[in-house]
Structure 1
Amino acid sequence: MNYIEAFKKLQEYSKNLESVEYEKLIEILKNSISKIPIPLAKLQQESSIERARANNGTPLFKSIEDLGYIKNPDVIKKLSKFGRANKPHEVLFYSAIQTSKLDQARVTAIAETSRLFLDTNSVQMDGELFTISRWRNKEELIIAEVVYAEEAIKNNEDIKASYEKQKQFAKELKGVDSEFFEDFLIFISNEYARIAVSHNDYKISTAYTELVLTHNDVQGITYPSVQTGYVGANLVLPTNIVDEFLYPEAATTSMLYKNKMKMTLGNGGHFSKKLGNEIVWEELKESVILQEH
């Protein structure tokens, strides 16, 4: 099977991923489309990386272990579904970075975490409590960019600029079928931008993530946030990269208030600049509205 036939087969499988074995998708991507260059970008040293966790009845989390990636084996056993980038029982560090259209990455982080955010009929006037942790990378990181989704290019100037840059790179590479390169990456990007009905709908984006992250020069992957209408950006890192290159800087609590189509994000009353085995929380006396939608 040549790479054109493989791509057509991948497009066909995409229509009904529930009936396709994950390993079959991996093999098509790995062996049949192995010459596709990976679009790369640099995440500058000391970038702000934000991660959200719903408190779900917990007033305040006690340790930074509660805010980083999951380490409890009993919890990992329960992770039985595909995520947009992870296999069942696989732990990745999902987070958000700022864009020119959405400079508060916490909005993206909450949007990707909240069950209420996309529910146009939900009402939660008491507020949904989240804890936002801000992390920094000690060194510059090389990350793969997923920037070919058509709707994301329309809605996000940062993504459009990256798309144009990556297209130009492809044209300059020798031995690369630039037309196929673009068609393939549009397809892959649209898989990341897919609004899933079933967790199986994430199989292709997960398979691409797995293969990209095995590359020695790639330390993470970024893709547009579907939940924010593509104006925000997500960052996914393997846990070993988190352990080696990231450190927690601060944490704060935030409240999401929802009245059907209108959402307001305000502070949750606490912040901490002392994150360790024990988080030292301080109270915020002022009530501040952070963002309205």
Structure 2
Amino acid sequence: MDKYEAFEKLKEYSNRLTEVTYEEIYDLLKNGIKFIPLPLAKLRVNTNIDRVRPNKGDKLFTHIDELGYIKDKEVIEKHLTSFGRANIPHQVMFYGAVETSLIDKQRLTAIAETSHLFRNPGNDCEEGELYTVSRWETQKELIVVEVVFSEYALENNPEIAQSFEKQKRFLEEHNLEPQDLEFHLEFLKFISNEFSKKVTNPEDYKISAAYTNLALLHPEVSGIMYPSVQTEYFGVNVVLTPEAIEKNVIPKICSTQILYKRGMKSFIANGQYYCKDIDIRRDIDWKEHSSDLLSTKEEVEEHLK
């Protein structure tokens, strides 16, 4: 089977992912298509990444380890059992969001990607749902794979369109034969659409998870970046390996946020607590916001009208 036949088979697999195993997809990518294209990009030093965890009721998290990637072996074994967009079951990854010109507060992207209220549009929460946002900062330049060939994202996000043109130029500079260039472009569009599709079944993440894991075989790659589905591709997500976080990323601040939702209207407000200086050697030192930084019931109601 050559790469063209393998690609056609992969497209056929994408229509019945509940029937095809992850191992079959991974093998088809690795040994059928073989040399998968990896559009590389740089995550610069001092890039801020926001990560979100839902709180259990009003209970606050006590240590930054609870806000980073999952370390509890029991949780990994018993609860991390589904495919994610960039992970297989029981595989730990660090998911977060970075700033874009369309969504300058990346915590909005991170909350939208984490909240079940956004994933299930019919759900309301007028009393508010509590989340904790932690901000992490890169300490060195990291190389990531950039997923920017999605037709959906290209229509909605001009920054993604610029990245697409840049990556397309990089491909063209390799002086590929026209047939190979067309193959690479079509393959990257297909993979990008897999990252950009809205899913109801975690099994539908098998192809994007397999592509991520193959990309991570590259010795310089620390993770992957892709447009945020839940923000209609205005925001951008980044996924990094635990090793990359431990070596190159540090936590800086965290705060509580409250998500209110009624119908198609939503409002994210400051929660009561924040910590502006995280020390990994001790528990989070929570402080209370002054009342003028908190939203009143009337203000919330006004936003949800």
2:153 counterpart residue number: 152
**Contact 1:255/1:265 (8 A) holds in 2:** yes
How far 1:58 sits from its partner (Å)? 4.3
**Contact 1:50/1:132 (8 A) holds in 2:** yes
**Contact 1:123/1:258 (8 A) holds in 2:** yes
**Equivalent position SS for 1:191:** helix
**Contact 1:130/1:254 (8 A) holds in 2:** yes
Report the structure, 1 or 2, having the larger strand content.
Answer: 1
How far 1:201 sits from its partner (Å)? 0.4
1:201 counterpart residue number: 204
**TM-score of the superposition, structure 2-length normalised?**
0.93
Question: What does residue range 45-60 of structure 1 map to in structure 2 within 5 Å?
Answer: 45-60=45-60
Question: What does residue range 1-293 of structure 1 map to in structure 2 within 5 Å?
Answer: 1-78=1-78, 79-175=80-176, 177-275=180-278, 276=280, 277-285=282-290, 286-288=292-294
- Give the stretch that moved more between structures: 243-252 or 21-30: 21-30
CA distance, structure 2, for counterparts of residue 122 and residue 35 of structure 1 = 43
The alignment covers a number of residue pairs equal to 293
CA distance, structure 2, for counterparts of residue 139 and residue 168 of structure 1 = 26
- Runs of 5+ consecutive residues of structure 1 not aligned to the other structure: none
**Contact 1:121/1:260 (8 A) holds in 2:** yes
**Equivalent position SS for 1:116:** helix
Query: Where in structure 1 do 4 or more consecutive aligned residues deviate above 6 Å?
Result: none
Q: Deviations over 1:164-199 (max 9, x none)?
A: 111111111034611111100000001111211211
CA distance, structure 1, for counterparts of residue 57 and residue 294 of structure 2 = 22
How far 1:125 sits from its partner (Å)? 1.4
**Equivalent position SS for 2:53:** strand
How far 1:287 sits from its partner (Å)? 3.1
RMSD, aligned CA: 1.6
CA distance, structure 2, for counterparts of residue 132 and residue 269 of structure 1 = 13
**Equivalent position SS for 1:252:** strand
